Amino acid sequence: MQSHARLFWKGTLDSAPFILVVVPFAALFGLVSAEAGLNIVETMAFSLIVLAGTAQFTALSLLQDQAPTVIAILTALVVNSRMAMYSAALAPHLGKAPMWQRALMAYGLVDQAFALSDTAYQRFTDWTIRQKVAYFAGTSVMVCSLWMVCTFLGALAGDSLPDWLAIDFALPLAFLAMVAPALRTAAHVAAALTSAVAALVFVFVPYGLGLLLAAFLAMAVGAEVERRLGHR
């Protein structure tokens, strides 16, 4: 049986490839925050309280576009609502952990930690609850720590980086790395294709709300495909 410490470091090692996307993504958020007029304290408070890169970028972008604050908050909440689905998927594995551990894991639940943990739990079905918690902690600590450090460095650098040093590739690359291995069923593929097409169709919708419409439509299509295949 693998020790808890060993599984923690296994989670850390498994999350190491995401360094390539988390580092520039976090640094980019720090830079964008500085350009938007946030100081380092405000930027770090934003990351510490929200700890959700996509939602942070979404809210900041909408506020820069002079969108109403309510729209920015609601849009960020909807973008981050995927965490509810992540939680539901992990609940059978981590739901019996002590309350304080579940609270910490809820705070540290990020896309990368979910993708790695969900895959590992399905592969290693004999892990105990403590082993699962240890592995999750390893994946989350690595990613969240890098996010904070690199956000700070990005905010510190401000707008001093030259234009040719483009790092805005991080977000799409991160999601490709997480989504591609998860496309295991026809429902997954249908939802992914629907979201991509719908996002292009609804690109004209103001305040980026087209992405929300695409997300809801993709979930509906994925659920319907799964329902129909389940009846066969």
The 10s digit of each residue's pLDDT in 140-157 is: 998 999 999 999 998 888
pLDDT: which is higher, 45 or 219: 45
* Interval 78-83 mean pLDDT: 78
Rounded Cα gap, residues 6 and 59, in angstroms:
38
What is the pTM for the complete model shown? 0.73
Q: By C-alpha distance, which of 227, 224, 230 is closest to 191?
A: 224
Q: Which SS3 state, helix, strand or coil, does residue 184 take?
A: coil
Contact 87, 109 (CB under 8 A): yes
Rounded Cα gap, residues 150 and 152, in angstroms:
5
Contact 135, 8 (CB under 8 A): yes
Per-residue pLDDT tens for 99-147? 999 999 999 999 889 989 999 998 898 999 999 999 999 999 989 999 9
pLDDT of residue 185: 81
| 186 — pLDDT class (breaks 50, 70, 90) | confident
Residue 168 reports pLDDT greater than 80:
no
77: its two tokens: 């909440």
